[in-house]
Each structure stands twice: as C-alpha cells, then as structure tokens.
Structure 1
Amino acid sequence: MKQKIKGTGHLVVNGDITINTSRSKASFYRRIYVAYLIDSGINTPKELLDATKMPRRTLQDTLAALGEVGIQAERSGGTKNLTYQIVNWGAINKDWIENNLQHVIDVLE
C-alpha cells in the first residue's frame, strides 16, 4: 500500500518506508512524462488531462516548460482541435523514459 503525504514529496510504502522526491525531480519527471505521452499519440489537451489527472493549469505550465529541459514541442490546430508534437528530444533519452516509465509514474502519483 502506498500513501503520499501531501505537500511533502514523501511516499510511505507499507507503512514504514519513506521515499523523498524533490520538487525539482518531480517537475522534471512531469515534463518528460507529458512529452512521452505526446510522442505516444496522447497529444491533445483533453487526452493529456485524462491520462495524467493533472489540473489544467499544471498541464499548461508543464507544456510551456518543456523547452527548459531541452524538449521541443510544436502546437498545431486551433482552440478546439489543438494538438502537440515532439519535434526534438534534445539531450533527453527517450529509451530511458520507456524503460523507467513505471518509476516515473510512481514518483508522480
């Protein structure tokens, strides 16, 4: 059983193990996770909101900050048919994300 202690970055597993995740690490993981989803075809705001369960504003901020970690994303379409596409991963290793996807998701839960 996992339980997150709200606002601390701590995760309690089976009542006795605590894992501390820094806010900057969680922010980085959030960015690469969203980029991974976009690259996997989950590339509209609605699909991203449904997949991540993020608040809309958090998703907007995350999308706007992809460039800060070297990921280049392009927007296309209008308000009702907006989509995103990853154009360049920069220094991010997409294979690492695929191989560690469950860990990334666990950190973000």
Structure 2
Amino acid sequence: MPNPTTADDDEGCRFANISRSMGAAMTSSSENVVENMIEAVLVGGPSDLPATVRTQRLPRDGEKVKIHHRGGYEHFERDGGSSTSSPSPVVFRWTTRTRVAE
C-alpha cells in the first residue's frame, strides 16, 4: 500500500498532509503499521473528487486530511462521532478548501 502522504492516484489527486493529534510516531514494523491504520471515508467537498480518493487507509490517530485537488487543497476533519474500534470506516468530513500558494 502506498504511503498516503505521497501517493498520487490516477485521477491526479494527491495526499498533501495527514495531521496526527498525538505525537507518537508509527514504528517501522509492518505489523504495527497495519495495526495503526484504519479504513476512512471522506464525506462532502467537491462533487468531482474521485471515488478512489474518498476511501482511504489512514493512521489511526489522524485527525485531519488535506487532499490536493484542482489547484487547491480540500480539507477534511475526523467526525467526532466516529470510533476507531468500530469495523465501520471512520468518517472524515469536508471543512474547507484552500488554494495552492504560488
């Protein structure tokens, strides 16, 4: 699985940043990396954001996701009602769009 901080998809969207609320770094062991990842779904934002970008595996402690899309960034934040212990994907809701600085 590609690293979500650098992966490009075939629709031209790019993960620009994933913020973590806790400062703990993930270990290099593949077992810990898998354990520290969750299924996430990005809800809201532009209607032309590709479906391939809306479902992701993200760090368990991630609170924000910033997606590069059409010359700007789409910002998503973890929904407060989402649980990382549930088998359902964690919901990240769209909050704002910013433009790329030139």
Fold-level similarity (TM above 0.5): no
- Higher gyration radius (CA): 1
Bigger relative CO (Cα 8 Å, ≥ 6 apart): 2
| TM-score normalised according to structure 1 size | 0.28
| TM-score normalised according to structure 2 size | 0.30
Relative to its length, the structure with more strand (as a share) is 2
Relative to its length, the structure with more helix (as a share) is 1
